[in-house]
Amino acid sequence: MYVPPQFASTDPSHASELIRSYPFASLISVDDKGLPYITPLPLHLLEEEGRWLLLGHCARPNPHWRYLQARPQAVVSFMGPQAYMSPSVYPDLARVPTWSYLTVQCTVQARLIEHFDDKDRLLKHLIHEHDPAYAQQWRGLGEDFQHKMMAGMVAFELEVMDWQCKLKLNQHRPESHQALYSTYASGTADQRVLADWMVRLGLIGAIREET
């Protein structure tokens, strides 16, 4: 991923927060023809003994798990909030539009999970994160049903070997910050989140101190 230095974050808390808040990711592998193969899916971040693990699964008919088995190294992309940025935020007219966004990309090493008990532990993490109330219903469906459902999926653990976090909020153009913040703070849900991140990164505080 292209990450100009002004947009790069090396703070793991930024990356982990975005992963947890926007867990619906794109898992990208190489298929047998050498082309990218992409599966959109939710992933659960587990921080364990200094490692980051992403837990997920796909349907058994999806060939993606076979590509992970043959070529375990893959890329996972998490897209956070994003929004158009109008050139009207600048005090001068010689400007062009752009786009604001927050994203995390991870290089991962995959390990397939086939044993029922291991799959069960993985599903507990996913259910707890997305629908805790469903846990009791799942347990009440019976072992035969559970085993049938488990057999129809392939679970995997993706160990994060490296990550990049890109926070593109026009950091290098301080003359735009106040107008951009005002636009986003009163805009869509994604725009409001971006406005909050501008405050978090000190882009707005710095302007207020100067004035």
Percentage of the chain modeled with pLDDT above 90: 76
Mean local confidence (pLDDT), 161-178? 97
Q: Please indicate whether residue 36 or residue 205 has the higher confidence score (pLDDT).
A: 36
Return the pLDDT at 123: 86
Would you state the pLDDT for residue 55? 96
Tokens of 78: 């998490």
Distance CA 128, CA 20 (A): 13
The token duo for 28 is 């990208």
Helix axes 177-185, 189-200, angle to 10 degrees: 140
The region of weakest confidence among 41-50, 79-88, 94-103, 141-150 is 141-150
Confidence of residue 209 (pLDDT cuts 50, 70, 90): very low
CA distances from 175 to 7, 18, 44 (A): 17, 27, 38
Q: Name the least confident of 14-23, 40-49, 121-130, 188-197.
A: 121-130
The per-residue pLDDT for range 174-206, each reduced to its tens digit, is 999 999 999 999 999 999 999 999 999 999 974
Give the pLDDT mean for 35-39.
98
* 118-140 pLDDT tens trace: 888 888 888 888 889 888 888 88
Indicate the SS3 state at residue 25.
strand
- pLDDT tens digit string along 104-120? 999 999 999 988 888 88
Dihedral angle sign, alpha carbons of residues 77, 119, 20, 53: negative
Q: Strands 8-9, 153-168: parallel, antiparallel or unpaired by DSSP?
A: antiparallel
Complete DSSP assignment for 129-149 = HH-TTHHHHHHTT-HHHHHHH
5-32 mean pLDDT:
97
